[in-house]
Amino acid sequence: MNGKSEALNGRSGPQAAPKPASGIGWNEVKAELVEFFSSIKLAMFLFLIIAVAATIGTVIQQNERAEVYVKEYGEEAYRWFLRLGWTDIYHTWYFTSLLALLCINSLTCFYQRFPGIWRSMHQDKVSVNLPFIKNLKQTTEMSVAGTKEGVSKGIVQYLAEKGYMVLAKNEPGEATLYATKGIMGRVGAHMAHLSATVIVLGGLIGSLYGFQEFGVCLEGQTYHIPKGSFDLRIDKFWIDYHENGSVKSYNSILTVLEQGQEKVTKTITVNDPLVYKGIWFYQSSYGDAWDQVDVARVNVKDKKTDKILQTVDLQWKKEATLDKLGLKIMLADFVADFGFNSNEKKVYSKSVEHENPAIKLEMAEHTKKSALEATPWIFYHYPDLFDIPGSQYRFELVGYQPRKFTGLQITRDPGVTIVWIGSTMIVVGISLSSFIYHRRLWFKVIPDKQGVTVHMGGTTHKNQIDFNKEFRKLTERIKTINA
């Protein structure tokens, strides 16, 4: 007994195979990823965050000059805007990442659901048995006078008139019919899903390979467009007014130059841009230049008596000679809102608004010098702020006509065509999904002593009430078939 026990329990006997270690395989990980990225909760979350980012991009002007943000929000807020990327939010890494995630979500939904729809469009639906029809959500049976072939033909003709595609299978003892209509209603929802991906893809292409800039351009000036390898000349800018004095339109005549040769000349307005080599020039805005004027009116006074000796209108950068006073004078510089950078020892305009305008003259008195020398800045609001040493004259700025600038939105978006394709897809997809619903019907026509028994069943993926009405009408119509 002991030997037998040892033989049964001894180590020399065969050992049980080890159990495989438990773990998570690739299929499980794949299933979890598909479930996560196809989640409607993820889609709603992404839409919400993108909407918030888009709202920020709408409220805060994009790609404006630094002084615009400083004037509107203050220097501290502007620094935070730069850190967060809110001055160009649509090109930030996080906005691009949100669009990429939305694209993945849409593609995953398409991948998960559309193959089944595609298979259902191509599979043979005629080979079904009678229990299948009886178990459908909408089902009925009726006795019809006639033969199997005649009744089947009558049903097929009526369904074809109603726009159904019909497949038939005639077997000994029974005939099976399958009818379908509105399959594009199911395809439409997936087209709308896919269109979101197409739109996002177009947006990403535009974001990565396109650009959008704002140019402040003065009449008569030529500007180089480095991303287009050509020059743009502002031939003319003017404003049209209504009879009541309000602005009707603002217009610019632009000419494209390549290697000094004129290629295209076009008058642009707000809704009629110039397009050249894929770059769009929109008439975006206009305003008063902050660093130039067309003309400034200056009073020349006697420094001792404060008497006005002469009033002169000075053209920008053009020398004027006042023979009676023995003066040569030129309007050399202008700032709309005087500011001084103590570190760089440089005068600048703190904003584009004409809050503290000042001019700088260059002058020479005939009796002393022939070369022009710069004067101190002359302020519109503070005419006596600075004196001109060694001169018998004092100058007073009494008015000026600022030079108008045309604001051009310069844009290149290589993804815009793709965005339009996606937009068309979403309109078509939503229309198909909203107004067309997929209906499927099965029939078994079985001969009996009175004629035939027609077993009919059907289903739809939505709009059940309308389908029920159609099903009842079809039932009444089949009962009247006499073949």
| pLDDT value of position 5 | 41
- For every one of its 483 residues, what pLDDT tens digit does the chain have, with 9 covering 90 and above? 444 444 434 444 445 555 555 556 777 887 888 888 888 888 889 889 999 998 998 899 887 878 788 888 988 999 999 999 999 888 889 988 888 888 888 888 888 877 777 776 666 678 889 999 999 989 999 999 889 999 999 999 999 999 999 999 988 889 999 999 988 888 887 888 788 889 888 888 887 888 888 888 888 889 998 887 899 999 999 889 998 988 888 899 999 999 889 999 999 998 899 999 989 999 988 888 888 898 999 999 998 898 999 999 999 999 998 888 888 999 999 999 998 888 888 898 888 788 999 999 998 886 555 677 888 899 999 988 888 888 889 999 999 998 888 889 899 989 889 999 999 998 998 888 888 888 999 999 999 888 899 999 999 988 889 999 999 999 999 988 876
- Over residues 268-324, the pLDDT tens digits come to 998 899 999 989 999 988 888 888 898 999 999 998 898 999 999 999 999 998 888
Assess whether 411 and 449 both reside in one domain: no
Q: Residue 175: which CATH number?
A: 3.30.160.110
Assess whether 376 and 333 both reside in one domain: yes
Give the H/E segment covering residue 211: strand 211-218
* Residues 132 and 443: beta-carbon distance below 8 Å: no
Assess whether 299 and 382 both reside in one domain: yes
The span from the CA of 13 to the CA of 226, in Å, is: 85
DSSP state of 172: T
Assess whether 279 and 311 both reside in one domain: no
Assess whether 34 and 82 both reside in one domain: yes
Assess whether 397 and 411 both reside in one domain: no
| pLDDT value of position 37 | 83
Q: Considering the domain boundaries, does residue 282 fall inside one?
A: yes
DSSP state string for 414-446: TTHHHHHHHHHHHHHHHHHHHH---EEEEEEEE
The span from the CA of 341 to the CA of 347, in Å, is: 6
Assess whether 295 and 360 both reside in one domain: yes
| pLDDT value of position 24 | 64
Of 252, 187, 244, 269, the closest CA to residue 404 belongs to: 252
Residue reference for tokens 């893809």: 201
Among 86, 112, 138, the domain boundary falls at: 112
| pLDDT value of position 122 | 64
| pLDDT value of position 462 | 85
Of 106, 50, 72, 172, the closest CA to residue 445 belongs to: 172
Assess whether 334 and 463 both reside in one domain: no
Assess whether 264 and 299 both reside in one domain: no
Neighbours of 478 (CB within 10 A): 20
Q: What does the block give as tokens for 360?
A: 């700088």
DSSP state of 391: -
Q: Considering the domain boundaries, does residue 303 fall inside one?
A: yes
Among 59, 81, 112, the domain boundary falls at: 112
Q: Considering the domain boundaries, does residue 298 fall inside one?
A: yes
At residue 381, φ and ψ (nearest 5 deg) are -85, -20
DSSP state string for 259-276: TTEEEEEEEEBTTB-EEE
Mean pLDDT of the chain: 86
Q: What does the block give as tokens for 279?
A: 């770059």
Instruction: Give, to the nearest 10 degrees, the angle between helix 66-73 and helix 75-84.
Output: 120
Assess whether 163 and 99 both reside in one domain: no
Assess whether 320 and 452 both reside in one domain: no
Q: Considering the domain boundaries, does residue 273 fall inside one?
A: yes
Assess whether 237 and 149 both reside in one domain: no
| pLDDT value of position 11 | 46
DSSP state string for 350-379: SSSS-SB-EEEEEEEETTT-SS-EEPPPEE
Q: Total domain count for the chain?
A: 4
| pLDDT value of position 123 | 65
Calculated CA dihedral for residues 466, 471, 477, 480, nearest 10 degrees: -150
Q: Considering the domain boundaries, does residue 332 fall inside one?
A: yes
- Domain residues for the domain of 136 are 124-182+437-479
Q: Considering the domain boundaries, does residue 6 fall inside one?
A: no
For the CA atoms of the chain, what is the radius of gyration?
41
DSSP state of 164: -
At residue 182, φ and ψ (nearest 5 deg) are 80, 30
The span from the CA of 185 to the CA of 437, in Å, is: 5
Q: Considering the domain boundaries, does residue 267 fall inside one?
A: yes
DSSP state of 450: S
